[in-house]
Every structure is written in C-alpha cells, then in structure tokens.
C-alpha cells in the first residue's frame, strides 16, 4: 500500500474542508478504495498508486480553483468529478468579479441576475432589487458600494434598514438604543467584514465614511456623493419610502432591496416597497430587477423552501 501527503499551504483548512467536513467528505465518496485522512492543514491518502495519482490530480485542480475563488463547495466538487466541464468552465469564466475582499477573498456576482445588478447600477442611479431570502440582494449591493468607495466614485457608504419588529418586541431588548438596534443591522456588518479589513472598517465607521443606521435617521438629510442601500425595504411605509427616495443628492447611487414575501408591517399597512414599484415602474431612469429561487446561494433546501412558500402565496 502506498501513501501520499498534500499540504494546504496558506489555506484555512476549515474553508477547504467545509462546514462539518462537508467538502472533504464529498471528495471521499469519489475515492472509496482510498483511506483519506484530513487533519490540520494536511491531507493523507493510502491505497493503490494509480488511484493515488488520480486523487492527487483532483486535489490539485480543487486547490487551483480555491486559489482563484477563495472557496469551494459540494456542487463544484460534483461537477469536477462528474465531468460536467461545460458548467464547470462557466462557473470559472463567467463569474463577474466585483472586488477583492478580506484575506484575498474574491467577491463575485455568481448568478445571472446578480450580474444584472452590477450592470444596472452602472447605468442607473436608482435600482430596486426584489427577491426572496438568500438570493444575494444585500451582499451583492454592499459589494458594489464598497467597490465604488474604493474606486473613489463616492465619498461615503450609507446602509439603512427600517427597524420593524419581526415578531419581537424592541422595547424589551436590553441596552441603549444603539445596542437595541444593532442586531437589526447585523447582516450589513457581516457583509462589510468580508470585504474590508477589520481595522480599516472600524476607522471608516468612526469617521462616518461608512454609516449604518435605522431608516428614521435619514429624515432631513441630503445624501450626496454617497452609495446608499435601503435593505429590507418591504417593511417601509408609504411615508418612509417617499422620505428615503427624496434624500437622493448629487452623485448618489441608491439600491433598494426587499422581499415582498416577508413583510412584518401591521395588517392593513401598505408596504412602501410594493407601492413604489407600482408608482415608479414607468420611469426609464429607474432599474427594477426581480430575483428568484434560482439565485438562492444558501443551503440547497432554500430553493425548495422558496418554491413551497410561493405556491401558498399564490393560493392566498
């Protein structure tokens, strides 16, 4: 019996092996005659020399892909081992790079609709991005904002959300107002941390170059030289949406994201997002893009969940 050892140089093993070793376990399925041990930053394999060579070639291909994209997943591994070269090549060549994130991470618009967001915001100053959870609305929008800031196309980034209680009572949360509201803004912080080194992000926030605040804090402001994202816009009212849209200043880019299927407003209160799309759809300078379950980038079950709920929504 022969053996080989492969070092994961400059790679976080957790990223390569996947959550709960999902990626390495998927690889093992394709080499049932080998004993494969993944420990630390090393992969060891034991078995016949010919199969070990195939294994090493496959791992090198995966490492090459990882070096370029800073991530792999079980679907990429399936395409590699199942010989789905066309789809595999499309994944590698057609991904639209937005920017380089932290630790060399490459931030891509992965799906066709995410690429359309990139295209739309380059042509229009106001874009609505509508779609279900997990389709990359917020993440792609934040990446575009960071890109604009890095390229000095804008002087600041402003990220905002309506602080609507999704079944929780805001008043009973502990802490001062900032501490109460920060959990609502957490997805925005999470996205930024993947794109801007922590110390630089801290300085940006302290200086006001990046501002994250509830929608109510936008009232009375003139948002010029800014890339502004209104997230979770399905939870705005008529007056809130009108207030926000009229904050648009010179040299500003606005992206408004939302999921009309997850409205947390009181009954009989019309969603400002739904209303705005109807009112503004004929204005050619405004972009409106709809994402769907095909753009879901989370667990593979998310697509099925979206479809299941869509059927109920249609019936209702």
Average pLDDT score over residue span 47-68: 86
What pLDDT does residue 93 have?
Answer: 46
Sign of CA dihedral 261, 265, 269, 271: negative
Assess whether pLDDT exceeds 90 at residue 88: no
Residue 271 DSSP one-character state: P
Distance, in Å, from the CA atom of 7 to the CA atom of 308, rounded to the nearest integer, reads: 43
Residue 194 in contact with residue 101, Cβ under 8 Å? yes
Burial class (CB in 10 A: 0-12, 13-18, 19+), 264: middle
Please, which pLDDT band fits residue 67 given cuts at 50, 70 and 90? Answer: low
Residue pLDDT, tens place only, 3-46: 999 998 767 788 888 888 888 999 999 999 999 999 888 999 99
Structure tokens at 104: 């060399």
The answer to whether the beta carbons of residues 253 and 148 sit under 8 Å apart is yes
- The reported pLDDT for the residue numbered 177 is 53
Which CATH architecture does the domain made up of 2-93 adopt? 2-Layer Sandwich (3.30)
pLDDT band at 166 (very low <50, low <70, confident <90, very high): very low
Distance CA 163, CA 231 (A): 11
pLDDT in tens, 190-209: 999 999 888 889 899 999 99
Residue ranges of the domains in the chain?
2-93, 98-315
Q: What pTM was computed for the model?
A: 0.65
Q: What is the pLDDT of residues 112-158, one digit of tens each?
A: 889 899 999 999 999 999 998 888 899 999 999 999 998 999 999 99
Assign 108 to helix, strand or coil.
strand
Give the mean model confidence (pLDDT) for residues 48-72: 82
Among 140, 76, 131, smallest CA distance to 296 is for 131
From the number of C-beta atoms within 10 Å of its C-beta (0-12, 13-18, 19+), residue 177 rates as exposed
Looking at per-residue confidence, does 251 or 1 come out higher? 251
What CATH superfamily is the domain 98-315?
P-loop containing nucleotide triphosphate hydrolases (3.40.50.300)
pLDDT digits (tens, 9 = 90+) for 260-291: 888 888 888 999 999 999 999 999 999 999 99
Starting from the edge strand earliest in sequence, which strands make up the sheet with 253-258, in order? 210-214, 156-161, 226-230, 253-258, 126-130, 286-290
Q: Is the model more confident about 41 or about 165?
A: 41
pLDDT, tens only, 209-267: 999 888 888 988 999 999 999 999 999 999 999 999 999 999 999 999 999 888 888 88
Using alpha carbons, list the distances in angstroms from residue 312 to 47, 299, 315.
Answer: 52, 21, 5
């Amino acid at each position: 019996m022969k053996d080989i050892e492969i070092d994961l140089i400059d790679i976080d093993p957790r990223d390569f092996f996947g959550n709960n070793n999902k990626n390495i376990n998927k690889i093992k399925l394709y080499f049932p005659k080998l004993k494969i041990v993944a420990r630390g930053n090393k992969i060891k394999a034991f078995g016949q020399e010919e199969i070990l060579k195939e294994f090493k070639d496959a791992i090198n291909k995966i490492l090459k892909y990882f070096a370029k994209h800073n991530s792999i997943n079980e679907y990429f591994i399936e395409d590699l081992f199942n010989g789905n070269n066309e789809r595999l090549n499309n994944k590698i060549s057609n991904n639209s790079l937005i920017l380089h994130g932290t630790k060399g991470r490459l931030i891509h618009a992965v799906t066709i609709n995410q690429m359309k967001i990139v295209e739309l915001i380059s042509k229009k100053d106001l874009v609505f991005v509508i779609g279900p959870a997990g389709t990359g609305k917020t993440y792609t929008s934040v990446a575009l904002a960071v890109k604009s800031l890095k390229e000095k196309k804008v002087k600041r980034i402003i990220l905002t959300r309506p602080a609507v209680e999704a079944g929780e009572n805001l008043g009973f949360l502990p802490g001062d107002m900032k501490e109460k509201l920060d959990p609502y803004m957490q997805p925005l912080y999470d996205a930024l941390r993947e794109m801007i080194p922590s110390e630089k992000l801290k300085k940006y926030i302290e200086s006001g170059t990046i501002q994250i605040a509830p929608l109510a804090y936008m009232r009375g402001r003139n948002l010029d030289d800014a890339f502004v994202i209104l997230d979770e816009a399905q939870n705005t009212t008529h007056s809130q949406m009108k207030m926000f849209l009229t904050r648009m200043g010179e040299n500003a880019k606005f992206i408004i994201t939302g999921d009309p299927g997850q409205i947390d407003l009181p009954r009989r209160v019309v969603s400002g997002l739904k209303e705005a799309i109807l009112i503004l759809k004929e204005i050619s300078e405004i972009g409106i893009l709809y994402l769907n379950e095909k753009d879901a980038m989370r667990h593979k079950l998310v697509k099925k969940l979206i479809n299941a709920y869509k059927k109920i929504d249609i019936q209702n």
